[in-house]
Chains A and B, each alone.
Chain A
Amino acid sequence: MECKIVSLHSTHEPPLLEVKNLVKQFGNLTANDHINLHIQGSRIHALLGENGAGKSTLVKMVYGALQPTSGEILWQGERVIVDSPARARELGIGMVFQHFSLFEALTVAENISLALPANLREGNLEQRISELSHDYGLTLQPDALVADLSVGQRQRIEIVRCLLQQPRLLIMDEPTAVLTPQEAQSLFTTLQRLTSEGCAVLYISHRLEEVKQICHGATILRHGKIVASVDPQIETAASLAQMMVGAEVHAVSHGTVAASGQPLIIAEQFSQAADTPFGVDLKAVNLQVRAGEILAIAGVAGNGQSELFAALSGEQTNNKPQAINMCGQACGHLGITQRRRIGAAFIPEERMGHSAVANFSLSDNIILSRHSLRDNHDQQSLVGRSGTINYTLARDINMHIGKVYDVRKGQPDPEAGSLSGGNLQKFVMGRELDRRPKVLVVNQPTWGVDAGAAALIRQALIDLARSGSALIVISQDLDEIFELADQIAVISRGYLSPAQPAQSLSAEQIGLLMAGAHETSTQAQTL
């Protein structure tokens, strides 16, 4: 491949990519402030920073999706203007995004073919895909339907799609956020293989341990400026985190576990068939969470987490009222609004388009989940008796949440889509936690969120539990689970293992449960 040729050249070549004094302004906000960066071939370079630090802005400029306000980009020593992603791909820059855009009803090969320029589509594409994926240890069946694939396999499609265009620089935006530990390890092998051929990788991640494991260099951004360029091998995860947030990251404090109170969430033998052909059936789920407790549900993505969330939130109702009980009330048959009225709150995994509408202002997004509730501060209602919306109140609540939960934004009431992932998650958390709900169900609370914001969010969840609420946290992050949980259960193919006290479980035991060790016993119970 082309990469091999590059690696033969001597090392005093100009850097593969050089960024000089790059500035990007959005209105008054300087998202990138005089950024300088060198990237050499054959190296994995990490880009670290809190959400909103300017990492995405920087890589989007390199990939041609955004244009810099000033400054220049040099590619192999020559000044270039990257005016579109197509131009970036021509130069040899590929990017794997955090969110994939794949057609579920098409095969792997069809999806790849759709995204390739015509000249690369010719010939036996299926064969090239299987050869390439075999070479790089990215096992992929070209004729498999995307709908049947796990998130990790879907990510491989995106990587293979990039590799077919022979990139010299591969940008990866939080690639391991959606992967299991095993999948992440095999991704690292692939990346090492790529760098051994001369290709460079620009790697965005929040997982400091893996940055230490695989990266040769790291640049740390804070508030749009570079604060440090370090060798991650000689730093500790704690020192990296400290540079990112500019202060010691507070270890989450558990506080005293309250004597277990009344059960506030109960599900008994809850079963529900999936409503889409690609969904997972929930099978005889039993769970009970008492006031003051956090139940964490671990599991590999796609094992029924979204279905369980829909069932608990009431987005999907059940015809048996007794199947789910919240705050002492049978509510299997109640919709999400009615469950909110009895004191429950819900936070889905996907921020854009599920817990928030991207092209609505933040104050409109306040209305989204709180239109049928009274504001707990002064008992005002967002919607009057005649159905008219009190926009002033919505704006006030938004300002309040912005302050309390440190939502960083360029203007008081911007569109939700203009916020970075972590800031939007803080907003969504704030919107629900501000109600002081008796019951909270949250799916992946810190997915794609930086260390500082994640600590803030986890502390807020623990504080809520200690104040006497019952929480269910669905997460794929084992560190997060051990940090938060009083009880742990594992979901696998729609079965939920019996909950056990967090202290009594090790990561290995949870790993076994994730692989489905408990299913046989649960099945036996249902028979």
Chain B
Amino acid sequence: MSAKIILEKRHNASPMMRYLSPLLAIGLTVIAGGLIFLAMGQPPLKALYLYFIDPLTSIWSLQELVVKASPLILIGCGLAVAFRANIWNIGAEGQLLIGALFGSSIPILFGDWQSPLALVCMLLLGALGGALFGAIPALLKNRFRVNEILTSLMLVYVAQLLLDWMVRGPWRDPHGYNFPKSVSFEGWHQLPIIIGNGRVHMGIILVILAVVILYWMMTKTIKGFEIRVIGGAPRAGAFAGFSQTRMVWFCLLLSGALAGLAGIIEVAGPVGQLQPSISPNYGFTAIIVAFLGRLNSIGVMMAGLLLAVSYLGGEGVQIELGISDKTTHVFQGMLLFFILMCDTLIYYRLRLLSSMPKLTQGGSLP
């Protein structure tokens, strides 16, 4: 007897479960992670402690947590807005890199211009670069109906190669012993540190600002209303007079600008110069952040902090137990898998269908 499993829509999905789903996913990730550590011959409880708890026990690592969470939250809350409108920008990583390139043009080309205005210009250029790079999938979608998932994703590789070429070629530091790096950013080309001599920089203020503004936009303004209508019922959006085309522009430009801003904040903050790798896939991890945060910017802020732990924890277990820091990717992947699984099972139930003929016992077709 063969059997198959089908998904059947639930008639009344619990609204509370929608908010519990991230917590369930985190729990399942911890359990699965423990099993993986066990299989690798590591003490699972110690490894889990090092991974999830240890990063929260010292001032240094808490500061580091904020530094790592900043780009995730900034990108994540932009993506949350786009995803709400059913516009799938998967290329935030590319928009981040282009933003970093645009913003870095000030310190690299105008190294002598030292003024707070220079820093403001860098940030603005960063956002502009990200927005312009996000405009490409928007144009292709509106003009030729090309799926933005594919174009935005493929443009990430274009951005990575462009950055690589720039730091090895035109923008390489002439006094840098041929290392593929730009000049180091100094003075007003760097974000000021706000806590003593730690690592937390001014960028965190922009992050908090973005979270608050987007939360206000989504809940209190007609723009947020428009986004929810277009995402939830496109024909009702047309009836309300909202333009799908303009919405595509708005969402890709906004999420692109925030990713670009995150990019310039990274190079003008913790990294300090352009180099071939400036982001440990923040742009992709932010997709997890957006979903884990229920596409809501307050939720995104909490999810961003959690995903930042996964980066620090990965480094932690590498140092303490000698496990590859690829663990970070494993944990992030499991988290996304479990959150999507929980969401699916909240809206659908699994049903086992056996192929034993049950219905036809009583009669047969004439």
A354 partner, pick from B222, B232, B236, B356, beta carbons under 8 A: B236
Docked-complex contact B232 and A337, CB < 8 angstroms: no
Given contacts A119-B355, A337-B241, A387-B222, whether A2 and B236 have CB atoms under 8 Å apart is: no
- The reply on B360 being an interface residue by CB < 8 A is yes
Given contacts A369-B239, A371-B222, A387-B223, whether A90 and B365 have CB atoms under 8 Å apart is: no
Which chain B positions have C-beta within 8 A of A383? 222
Residues 186-239 of B at the A interface (beta carbon under 8 Å): 220-223, 225, 228-229, 232-233, 235-236, 238-239
A46 to chain B, nearest CB (A): 26
| Closest B residue by C-beta to A3 | B363
In the assembly, what is the distance between CA of A5 and CA of B366, in Å? 12
Residues 355-380 of A at the B interface (beta carbon under 8 Å): 355-360, 364, 367-369, 371-372
- The reply on B109 being an interface residue by CB < 8 A is no
In the assembly, what is the distance between CA of A128 and CA of B240, in Å? 46
- The reply on A524 being an interface residue by CB < 8 A is no
Which chain B positions have C-beta within 8 A of A2? 362-363
- The reply on A255 being an interface residue by CB < 8 A is no
Docked-complex contact B225 and A65, CB < 8 angstroms: no
Proximity string of chain B (334-366) to chain A, C-beta cutoff 8 Å, 1 when within and 0 when not? 000000000000000001010111111011011
Given contacts A66-B11, A357-B229, whether A1 and B365 have CB atoms under 8 Å apart is: yes
Docked-complex contact B221 and A387, CB < 8 angstroms: yes
In the assembly, what is the distance between CA of A296 and CA of B146, in Å? 41
B236 partner, pick from A5, A84, A118, A356, beta carbons under 8 A: A356
- The reply on B143 being an interface residue by CB < 8 A is no
Docked-complex contact A336 and B233, CB < 8 angstroms: no
- The reply on B4 being an interface residue by CB < 8 A is yes
A468 to chain B, nearest CB (A): 25
B84 to chain A, nearest CB (A): 13
Residues 328-366 of A at the B interface (beta carbon under 8 Å): 335-338, 340, 346, 348, 350, 353-360, 364
In the assembly, what is the distance between CA of A387 and CA of B219, in Å? 11
Docked-complex contact A371 and B232, CB < 8 angstroms: no
In the assembly, what is the distance between CA of A359 and CA of B225, in Å? 13
In the assembly, what is the distance between CA of A383 and CA of B357, in Å? 59
Docked-complex contact A371 and B240, CB < 8 angstroms: yes
Docked-complex contact B232 and A359, CB < 8 angstroms: yes
Docked-complex contact A355 and B236, CB < 8 angstroms: yes
- The reply on A27 being an interface residue by CB < 8 A is no
Docked-complex contact B359 and A389, CB < 8 angstroms: no
- The reply on A404 being an interface residue by CB < 8 A is no
Docked-complex contact A65 and B11, CB < 8 angstroms: yes
Docked-complex contact B235 and A117, CB < 8 angstroms: no
Docked-complex contact A353 and B235, CB < 8 angstroms: yes
- The reply on A120 being an interface residue by CB < 8 A is yes
| Closest B residue by C-beta to A341 | B241
- The reply on A315 being an interface residue by CB < 8 A is yes
Which chain B positions have C-beta within 8 A of A313? 239
- The reply on A161 being an interface residue by CB < 8 A is no
Docked-complex contact A348 and B360, CB < 8 angstroms: no
A292 to chain B, nearest CB (A): 27
A119 partner, pick from B11, B222, B351, B357, beta carbons under 8 A: B357
| Closest A residue by C-beta to B349 | A84
In the assembly, what is the distance between CA of A313 and CA of B241, in Å? 10
Proximity string of chain B (1-14) to chain A, C-beta cutoff 8 Å, 1 when within and 0 when not? 00010001001000
Given contacts A119-B357, A354-B235, whether A368 and B363 have CB atoms under 8 Å apart is: no
Docked-complex contact B359 and A368, CB < 8 angstroms: no
Docked-complex contact B222 and A357, CB < 8 angstroms: no
Which chain B positions have C-beta within 8 A of A358? 233
A96 to chain B, nearest CB (A): 18
In the assembly, what is the distance between CA of A193 and CA of B356, in Å? 31
In the assembly, what is the distance between CA of A364 and CA of B353, in Å? 41
| Closest A residue by C-beta to B221 | A387
Which chain A positions have C-beta within 8 A of B365? 1, 128, 166
Proximity string of chain A (1-34) to chain B, C-beta cutoff 8 Å, 1 when within and 0 when not? 1100100000000000000000000000000000
Which chain A positions have C-beta within 8 A of B221? 386-389
- The reply on A89 being an interface residue by CB < 8 A is yes
In the assembly, what is the distance between CA of A359 and CA of B358, in Å? 37
Docked-complex contact B359 and A1, CB < 8 angstroms: no
Which chain B positions have C-beta within 8 A of A356? 236
In the assembly, what is the distance between CA of A357 and CA of B358, in Å? 40
A315 partner, pick from B8, B232, B238, B358, beta carbons under 8 A: B238
Docked-complex contact A90 and B358, CB < 8 angstroms: yes
B79 to chain A, nearest CB (A): 22
Which chain B positions have C-beta within 8 A of A190? none
Which chain B positions have C-beta within 8 A of A130? none
- The reply on A113 being an interface residue by CB < 8 A is no
Residues 45-90 of A at the B interface (beta carbon under 8 Å): 65-66, 84, 86, 89-90
B43 to chain A, nearest CB (A): 47
Residues 89-142 of A at the B interface (beta carbon under 8 Å): 89-90, 117-120, 128
A–B pairs, 6, beta carbons within 8 Å: A120-B359, A338-B241, A350-B235, A357-B232, A367-B225, A386-B221
Known: A118-B4, A119-B355, A364-B225. 13 other contacts (CB 8 A): A65-B11, A117-B359, A118-B353, A119-B356, A119-B359, A120-B360, A353-B233, A357-B236, A360-B228, A367-B225, A369-B240, A386-B221, A389-B225
Residues of B near any A CB (own CB < 8 A) = 4, 8, 11, 220-223, 225, 228-229, 232-233, 235-236, 238-241, 243, 351, 353, 355-360, 362-363, 365-366
